[in-house]
Amino acid sequence: MKKLIYIALIAAALSACTKSSVRYEQPGEISFRPVTAKTTKAAVTGTEYPKDSTFNVWAWWGDVRENTPLENFPDVAEMYLNKCTFANKEKTGNSWEGMDIPYFWPTRGSLVFAGYSPTSAVAQNFSYSWTNKTMTITAYEQSTDISKTVDLMWFDVTERSYIDNSNKNAQNETVDGVPVVFKHLLSWLTFQFKKKDGAMSSYFVTDVTLQNIKTKARFTSIPTEGNDEWSAQTDGSVVAVWNGSQQVSAEAVVLESTTNGVLVIPQSCAAEHVQLQVRYKASEGGAEQTKTVYLTAGTDGNTWKPGKHYTYTITFGNNEILVLPEVTDWETVSVDIEVQ
């Protein structure tokens, strides 16, 4: 593959991100059409990738022809883009291009891609092995401030076929940008409160916190099993979910300090691990009481899974509080908790 400078003025910027530049008669600029795998909250609506977010991309070049199956792509391909940032510059449409400078298709051969989002997620700790088809995050850290947490996602080359330099997919269809599907790597927790039918007291929730939430971990994809694995979760911390004064009624109300929701690293929430602490009053002028319960992952057992949404419904009754979990794919999961 020839490595000639496309425009001399951008040579320095190109070398910082990619090992290869392009010929002057290049066939077109590389762009992406990203979507998310499942419906999310706040960060992503439906499957639409947020237009104000950016993502980093790896690309590998191989001298292969159109319609060559991905599994026949060279085992050792040449790095073409190394964590280059793509953005929706106009904040319109569904096409993402090189953020600072354009990146172009090679004049021959094909590219395969992998990437992660957002770019603000400790980029220096992300790596991808093309030969092993494995992404690794050596030391990911999620903030305990839910207003600053991110919706960590990635797309893998093993999930899609390559796009050749004429913008054709594996079905020989012309595409406007490389279509990629981001998977959610974190767990999404939602806490909603309601009063049980027939309950006499007028309950007021004043504070909601999570105890012993692990905020640091390692991530490794397992392509042979099709799984995403989190390990070495450490640094149990307190996460403030909500604070204020909210009267509980028969209709469930979600209590969160921000619209981002509570996003946590997948981890065990078995007994003596994660606790939900709720402070409340049995009347507006009553004494504040505290109820602490251990959480489960509902139908997922005792471990929160990547890309799952866990909804915990906390129901107040006469001298009792019930916590019921529900699990779904962000997919969503629900959990009920009763406080005795």
Q: How confident is the model at residue 247 (pLDDT cuts 50, 70, 90)?
A: very high
Instruction: Say which residues have a Cβ less than 8 Å from residue 299's Cβ, sequence separation at least 6.
Output: 327, 333
The reply to whether 8-184 and 187-338 are identical in fold is: yes
What band does 299 get if pLDDT is binned at 50, 70 and 90?
confident
Residue 306 reports pLDDT greater than 50: yes
| Alpha carbon separation from 320 to 252, 288, 291, 337 (Å, rounded) | 16, 15, 10, 10
From the centroid of its chain, how far is CA 285? 42
Q: Is 182 helix (H, G, I), strand (E, B) or coil?
A: strand
End-to-end Cα spacing for the chain? 70
Q: Smallest Cα–Cα separation from 61: which of 11, 96, 102, 18?
A: 18
Angle at 258 between CA 214 and CA 41, to 5 degrees: 85
Are residues 71 and 87 in contact, defined by beta-carbon separation less than 8 angstroms? no
- Cα–Cα dist 34/93, whole Å: 11
pLDDT at position 19, please? 42
Q: What is the pLDDT of residue 170?
A: 56
Q: How confident is the model at residue 226 (pLDDT cuts 50, 70, 90)?
A: low
pLDDT at 87: 93
Decide if 275 contacts 211 (C-beta within 8 A): yes
The domain spans of the chain are: 8-184, 187-338
The predicted model gives 240-252 an average pLDDT of 93
Residue 282 has a pLDDT of: 87
Two tokens, residue 80: 């073409």
Q: What percent of the chain is predicted at pLDDT more than 90?
A: 33
pLDDT tens sequence across 104-127: 888 888 888 999 999 888 656 889
Quote the pLDDT of residue 303: 93
pLDDT band at residue 12 under the 50/70/90 scheme: very low
Distance in angstroms (rounded) separating the CA atoms of residues 126 and 104: 23
SS3 225: coil
How high is the pLDDT of residue 106? Answer: 85
pLDDT exceeding 70 applies to what percent of the chain?
76
With beta carbons less than 8 A apart as the criterion, state whether 83 and 126 touch: yes
Judged on CB neighbours under 10 Å (0-12, 13-18, 19+), 42 is: middle
> Do 99 and 49 meet the contact criterion of CB atoms below 8 Å apart?
no
pLDDT at 91: 63
Distance of CA 92 to the CA centre of its chain: 22
Question: So what's the architecture of 8-184 in CATH?
Answer: Sandwich (2.60)
Q: How far apart are CA 26 and CA 161, in angstroms?
A: 22
Q: Which range is most confident: 9-23, 47-61, 209-223?
A: 209-223
* Chain segment 248-284, per-residue pLDDT in tens: 998 999 998 877 789 999 999 886 689 999 999 988 8
Closest CA to 189 of 45, 42, 327, 46: 327
Q: Which pLDDT score is estimated for 29?
A: 84
**pTM summary value:** 0.83
Q: What is the mean pLDDT of the chain?
A: 79
pLDDT classification of 232: cutoffs 50, 70, 90? very high
- With beta carbons less than 8 A apart as the criterion, state whether 113 and 101 touch: no
Q: What are the tens digits of pLDDT across the range 127-168?
A: 988 877 889 999 899 999 998 888 999 998 766 666 666 666
Q: For residue 160, which amino acid is it?
A: R
Could you write out the DSSP letters of every residue in 105-129?
--SSSEEEEEEEE-TTTTGGGEEEE
> What average pLDDT score do residues 302-313 get?
92
Q: What is the DSSP string of 65-90?
A: -TT--GGGS-SSPEEEEEEEEEE-TT
Domain made up of 187-338: CATH architecture:
Sandwich (2.60)
Q: Of the given ranges (14-18, 201-205, 244-248), which has the lowest mean pLDDT?
A: 14-18
Q: Distances from the Cα of 210 to the Cαs of 24, 139, 275, 278, in angstroms?
A: 56, 22, 6, 9
